[in-house]
Each structure stands twice: as C-alpha cells, then as structure tokens.
Structure 1
Amino acid sequence: MMKKWLKQTKNEKGLTLVELLAVVVILGIIAAIAVPSIGGIIENSKKDAAISNAQQVISAARLYAAGGGDTVGDDDGIVNASEISDYHETITDPWTKDEVETYTVTFEGTDLTPEISIEFTECNISEETAQTLSSKSRTEICGD
C-alpha cells in the first residue's frame, strides 16, 4: 500500500492551474490592502517631519534669544530665518525636498514664548508654540 502511494506521489510535480490562480488571487488581495496603508504611513511621516522641523526652528530661535541680551528680533519681536540660520541645520520641505528659507518666529507675551509660522508644500504651520506642536495631533496642525 505504501509503495503504491509513493509511486503515485512521485509522479506528481508542480502546481495545477487552479492552485496557481488561488495564489495569485491571494497575493492580489494582500497588495490591495497593503498599498493604501503604506501610502498613509508615508504621508504621516512627512507631516511628522514638518512638525519636527518647526520644533527645530523654535529651539534655534530660543538659542538665538538666549544670546541676544535684552532685545529679541525687531521691534515687534519677530525673528526671521536669516537671523537664526546659524543655529540649526538646513530646513527642508518633506514633500519636495527643497530648502525652506522663509519662516518667522515671533516672541510674544511677558515670558517671550516663541511662535513659529512656516509653510511647507502640504502643511501650513501658523503661530504655533513648541507646546502646541507637541500637544496637538498632526491632523490638527497640518490638516488632512
């Protein structure tokens, strides 16, 4: 009995067309589920990079202010990109990889809390503090 079964299975080689089609269909279903998920992950990481860049600029502005004595920025407390560019790495737009050279940090209030306004291709950060950048979600800051 065993010899007969071994002889029969020895002659069976490869996959049938139905088995092959089943594998292709399963792979197609997995790809249909995975591709949109990966796209969302990439978009979220770009938003996180934009927020991180804004936090980096705020930190640089604080360093600039710490060495600035009594006055910070112009009469309105506004610090432009050219004034603090030595205090941070190059800021790049996560969507285009271009350098972002235009942004402002405004020091307001009695405690001189810095607020940043910076525009990226798909994320406009306007008058956000380091605290709000940390506490708000990426959707609240950058939108959908």
Structure 2
Amino acid sequence: MSRGFTLIELLAVIVILGLILAIAIPSFSSLIQKNRFNAFRRNEELLVKQAQIYLTNNTNLLPTDIGEKKEVLYTDIKEQNYIDIIKDSIDGSE
C-alpha cells in the first residue's frame, strides 16, 4: 500500500493555503501601511520639536512683527546638528 498523498488531498491543501493567503495578505499590507504612517508621524513630531529647540536657540530668526511669518527649513536644522537625517518611511529617501 502506498503511503503518499492523493491528488484530492494535495488540492485540498492548496485550496486551504490559498484561502489563508487571501485573508493574510490584505491584513499584512494594512499593517505595513499603518506602521509606515506611524513612522511618518514620529518623524513629523521629532522635526517640529527640534525646530522649536532650534528657534529657542536662535531667537534672531523669530518674527518681529505681528502677522510676519518665518520659515525653518529641514536643511537648516540638519546642518546645525539639531536632527539627524530623516528617511522617508515609504521610499527611504531623505
């Protein structure tokens, strides 16, 4: 008597694995997207916090008139070593 699997048993296993993958892949993709978004938010919070520290130490860059706007660039904060390189959570670029 042969101790191998029948074709029906193999097909049943393949179908079951296919169903598991059909459920798992969208869930996994959603988890990856959520983690990327959370990494983006953490980077954003870090950048804002470091920009505030940068402006606290460089008060000459603060607006002097009501309604006046000033810009703090990422490159300025990075060049002054207030922050390390921030990588994009999606494509890994700076």
Q: TM-score, normalised by structure 2?
A: 0.78
1:74 Cα offset (Å):
5.3
For the 8 Å contact 1:57–1:88, the answer to whether it is kept is: yes
Aligned residues: 88
Matched, 1:30 2:25: no
Identical-pair percentage: 33
SS in 2 for 1:21: helix
Runs of 4+ in structure 1 deviating by more than 2 angstroms, as ranges, are 70-78
For the 8 Å contact 1:73–1:79, the answer to whether it is kept is: no
Q: What is the RMSD of the two structures over their aligned residues, measured on CA atoms? A: 1.9
Q: TM-score, normalised by structure 1?
A: 0.54
1:66 Cα offset (Å):
2.8
Q: RCO higher in 1 or 2 (8 Å CA, sep ≥ 6)?
A: 2
1:72 Cα offset (Å):
4.0
The structure richer in helix per residue is: 2
Structure 2 residues not aligned, in runs of 5+: none
Q: 2:71 aligns with which of 54, 78, 87?
A: 78
Structure 1 residues not aligned, in runs of 5+: 1-10, 100-144
